[in-house]
Structure 1
Amino acid sequence: MIRCFFLTASLVLCLAASPLSAGELAIGAATVSITPNEPVALSGQLHTRVAREVESEVTATALALESRGEGESGDQAILIACDLVAVRDGIIAKTREKLRDRLPGFDVSKLIVNATHTHTGPVTREGRYEIPEGVMTVAEYVDFLTDRLADVAVQAWESRQPGSVGWGLGHAVIAQNRRSLYANGTAQMYGRTNAATFRGIEGPEDHGVEVLFFWNGDDELIATAVNVACPSQEVEGRSNVNADFWHEVRETLRKKHGEQLHVLGWTGVSGDQSPHLMYRKAAEERMRRLRGLTRLEELARRIVRAWEDAYEGARQEMHADAVLIHKVIEIELPLRPITEDDVAEVKAKIESLSGNAKNAVRIGWHREVLHRYAAQQAGTAEPYRMELHAIRLGDIAIATNDFELFTQFGIQMKSRSRALQTFLIQLAGPGTYIPTAVAAAGGGYSAIVESNVVGAEGGQVLTDRTVELINSLWED
């Protein structure tokens, strides 16, 4: 069942060769379930899990924007947030193709789809997992998914009425940097912090909660986009469909602000962060139990409190005259070089895992490095090509990337951006980690060559190009 509402706001349209002029922005929002009605394999672990029960629905929520002035259409965007681990290759292209005829007035290149990174959502990548009989195939689910994404985009796009937009900032401790450093210079994801050799946490954390709010012509809150620098993977090891903490956030906000409220979950730059506790665990868990909350409810409580702080500020400045500009470019990122030492280590790992059918997914993960190395040696390896979106909405900017990008890069982008507030949406593509140079030197999952198609050099190129594109939105 699709929940749908719509609004429009007066905004200002900025054209590349023209001065800013007054206009109107049409805005629509809709939500649809992307939960299948049959058993489905789950993505996010290095072994096959089949979900036969649904703990909480996975959903897709769309926000549609189009500026209008003097009877003519200006810029536009449709942003869809999905409860998936990543937006795998082909999903956006298939959705755009399904939209092309249904929305002839919409430029499908300006469709953005992002994942919240729940590890308890359906598999959307062929060949990674062995799908048992009686379980929905990957192709079947992808067809179902892209039908639903097209439907929710159409619902949002076709339903727009006047309104206003606002932005705010709150803070919540949701994520912790998950890479432990040790005395010998190595690092490990979720490594023991009570070990005698533990020396600290590798990187920074970002506790900002960036929020957009949309009101209709009667000043009723209709939609909100919540940007949290943390993947939603608190219950990642379960074997049932679960939207993780975003489900609790959505339910809590709707209970207070009405069932008509559409909530987009935007995962910020946070490849080295997660909601899992790294230290002070006993004290944290004691306080949670005293509050009588599950861990998901505790995380939602913190996000909603930060959201409320942002709302108190934003509703004092409800803008009906913001600027809307949406730029899309393709950029090329250098691949992480694979060394002979990398190859030797990967071969040793494959050998140690061979002989046990349960290791098939893990072995395939390692073997991908050997395929990449062969292309590198043959000179046929091509740079990673990524579609980069940057949107200006009034004083704020929104920018996307495909990856699980380490937090340090996001801090750079936000600090160098000309926007008052910068919303960064990662996993608007197929994913893979991009570590910093420090992390790559420390090794460990998320910073080893198996985890990285693009390395630290490419991460800096991505950062620089993103900042350039954002800042160009403020040029005359």
Structure 2
Amino acid sequence: MRRLRRAVVVGILMLVAGFTAVGSSDGGEPPWKAGTATVMITPDRPLTLLGYTTRKGPFEAVSDDLSARALALEDAQGRRAVLVAADLVAFQSVVVTDAVTRRIAERTGLGRERLIFNASHTHTGPVVSLDPNLKLNVAHPDMTPEQAEATIAYTRRLQDQLVDLVERALADLKPARLSWATGRTTVPTSRRLPRPEGVVMSPNPAAPVDDAVPVLRVDSTEGKPMAVVFGCSCHAVAAGFQNAISADYPGYARAVVEARHPGATALFLAGCGGDANPEPRGSIDQARTHGEALGREVCRVLDGPLAPVVGPLQVASAQVDLPLQQLSREQIKSYLDRPNFQAWQARHMLEVLDAGERLPTRYTAPVTVWRLGKGLTLAALPGEPVAEYATLLRQALGPDGLWISGYNNDCFGYLPSAKVVAEGGHEAIGVTLWAWSRSLGPMVGFFEPRVQDVVVDAVRRLANEAQTEVK
């Protein structure tokens, strides 16, 4: 099997270290405080969905509601951080997280390095934008001015909801114990299939994916789960082209966990699934099937031995310059005949040049690392990282106690590895913001192969920085 296996190694380490079962207690003071909050973010009127340009008009139904969930943590020294997980296609910093983190800092004193906003990447979620000219954009060619204004109103309301959500989670802090373990899933299947004409988007079960299911259990002083955070590295596209609101498979997985553990708040964190899809897919029923399978695996992990997470909480974050290829007009034109979205991207790059603009040389994005004592390190990557980043970071930092997440704080498009850049294909298209909103500026381009080294080096440096006070 070429899937990335960690569960066996983690299980052996737990037995060797003598990790205790969930709910057990040494009788001492709980080393953490934790608080949760949830808010429904389903639009109150039909809006245009993001994820597929072939869908026309606002959504026609609500299959299941969208939500945003927050988990606030405080260690024994009073250090705090908040994780927010939302049923959205993406968080873009200039649209949502920049404004929201500023407001949260003003109200709570928490810096943005202590806030992680993770999008599940459901393709049956609404467009989030403050651009009144979305109707002029090729990504939403049929959007009317009224729909663009409704999208802006939804986005402003979403900002308010997220600020309130974080404040409510912090107000809910109470003594808690943390533990974690990793399971495995068969939900993700690689969608990068080599063909003579190039890599195409089609199921490729032989190619590697990240099959890890990291699970964090947050227990009350009574030993019952008050929160469960879990991850999966796979696009939330099981529902297919439905023109209906749905949280896709992550929502159904959460429902299984919450039904098994009443009173617990389940949070889903998208992982390195930029090049993975659930198979089969194409209907709400298939989204439910994948989600319930994932939820059962999470529950299995929760019922087994988990490693205690003691603290302290240390965080480090940086704005990292991700290098873009510098191509001539003729080099860009050479992409126009490729059988994938690189041709689509090349056309947008030529549009920038035709408009008299310069193509960017880099895209600056946030990378964040949280260390929860010596037991757990969460590496929060931006964009849509491909599965190879899970392998690369485990090699760089060691596989033990490492949780790698994507789709955090800012999503600009795909974050390819050097291998994906060389091979081409859909996941090699890089920064795509010009295609979605002209107001964001001429942000479009293919990443250089060395973007891989830049990201890995940044995570390694931040992990070391966050470790300096952990003795």
Q: Secondary structure at the match of 2:126?
A: coil
**Structure 1 equivalent of residue 75 of structure 2:** 67
- Aligned partners of 2:48 and 2:127 also within 8 Å: yes
Structure-2 separation of matches of 1:362 and 1:385: 21
**Structure 2 equivalent of residue 7 of structure 1:** none
Structure-2 separation of matches of 1:377 and 1:106: 37
Q: After superposition, what is the alpha-carbon deviation per residue over 1:172-206, rounded to whole angstroms, capped at 9, x for unaligned?
A: 10100101112x26210127x7xxxxxx85x4111
**Structure 1 equivalent of residue 201 of structure 2:** 189
**Structure 2 equivalent of residue 431 of structure 1:** 412
Q: Secondary structure at the match of 1:456?
A: coil
**Structure 1 equivalent of residue 237 of structure 2:** 233
Decide which of 56, 62, 65 is 1:54's aligned counterpart. Answer: 62
**Structure 1 equivalent of residue 247 of structure 2:** 243
**Structure 2 equivalent of residue 5 of structure 1:** none
**Structure 1 equivalent of residue 101 of structure 2:** 96
Structure-2 separation of matches of 1:133 and 1:374: 26
**Structure 1 equivalent of residue 12 of structure 2:** none
Structure-1 separation of matches of 2:464 and 2:107: 34
Q: After superposition, what is the alpha-carbon deviation per residue over 1:359-392, rounded to whole angstroms, capped at 9, x for unaligned?
A: xx999865431255679995x7342111111001
Structure-2 separation of matches of 1:408 and 1:108: 27
**Structure 1 equivalent of residue 372 of structure 2:** 393
Structure-1 separation of matches of 2:246 and 2:45: 15
| Percent identity between the two aligned chains | 22
Structure-1 separation of matches of 2:239 and 2:68: 19
- Cα drift, residue 210 of structure 1: 0.5
Q: After superposition, what is the alpha-carbon deviation per residue over 1:188-230, rounded to whole angstroms, capped at 9, x for unaligned?
A: 0127x7xxxxxx85x4111110110101111111101111111
Structure-1 separation of matches of 2:125 and 2:212: 26
Letter in 2 for 1:66: E
Letter in 1 for 2:365: M
- Aligned partners of 1:214 and 1:224 also within 8 Å: yes
Q: Secondary structure at the match of 2:321?
A: strand
- Aligned partners of 1:271 and 1:405 also within 8 Å: yes
- Aligned partners of 1:396 and 1:419 also within 8 Å: no
Letter in 2 for 1:311: L
- Aligned partners of 1:211 and 1:307 also within 8 Å: yes
2:41 corresponds to 1:34: yes
Of 339-348 and 386-395, deviating more is 339-348
**Structure 2 equivalent of residue 444 of structure 1:** 425
2:140 corresponds to 1:129: yes
Specify whether residues 81 and 28 from structure 1 end up closer, same or farther in structure 2 by C-alpha distance, changes over 3 A only: same
- Cα drift, residue 439 of structure 1: 2.8
2:296 corresponds to 1:308: no
1:104-115 map, 5 Å: 105-115=109-119
- Cα drift, residue 441 of structure 1: 3.4
1:141-152 map, 5 Å: 141-152=154-165
1:77-88 map, 5 Å: 77-88=81-92
1:317-328 map, 5 Å: 317-319=307-309, 321-328=310-317
Decide which of 220, 233, 251 is 1:216's aligned counterpart. Answer: 220
**Structure 1 equivalent of residue 80 of structure 2:** 76
Structure-1 separation of matches of 2:430 and 2:100: 31
Q: Secondary structure at the match of 1:270?
A: coil
Decide which of 403, 411, 414 is 2:391's aligned counterpart. Answer: 411
**Structure 1 equivalent of residue 177 of structure 2:** 164
TM-score by length of 2: 0.79
Structure-2 separation of matches of 1:157 and 1:186: 49
- Aligned partners of 2:384 and 2:411 also within 8 Å: no
Structure-1 separation of matches of 2:218 and 2:321: 34
**Structure 2 equivalent of residue 338 of structure 1:** 327
Q: Secondary structure at the match of 2:364?
A: strand
Specify whether residues 84 and 218 from structure 1 end up closer, same or farther in structure 2 by C-alpha distance, changes over 3 A only: same
- Aligned partners of 1:342 and 1:449 also within 8 Å: no
Specify whether residues 23 and 337 from structure 1 end up closer, same or farther in structure 2 by C-alpha distance, changes over 3 A only: farther
Runs of 5+ in structure 2 lacking a partner? 1-24, 433-444
- Cα drift, residue 252 of structure 1: 1.2
- Aligned partners of 2:219 and 2:226 also within 8 Å: yes
- Aligned partners of 1:174 and 1:303 also within 8 Å: yes
Q: Aligned pair count?
A: 415
Structure-2 separation of matches of 1:419 and 1:50: 44
Structure-1 separation of matches of 2:168 and 2:209: 37
Structure-1 separation of matches of 2:370 and 2:466: 8
2:272 corresponds to 1:269: yes
**Structure 2 equivalent of residue 15 of structure 1:** none
- Cα drift, residue 232 of structure 1: 1.2
**Structure 1 equivalent of residue 166 of structure 2:** 153
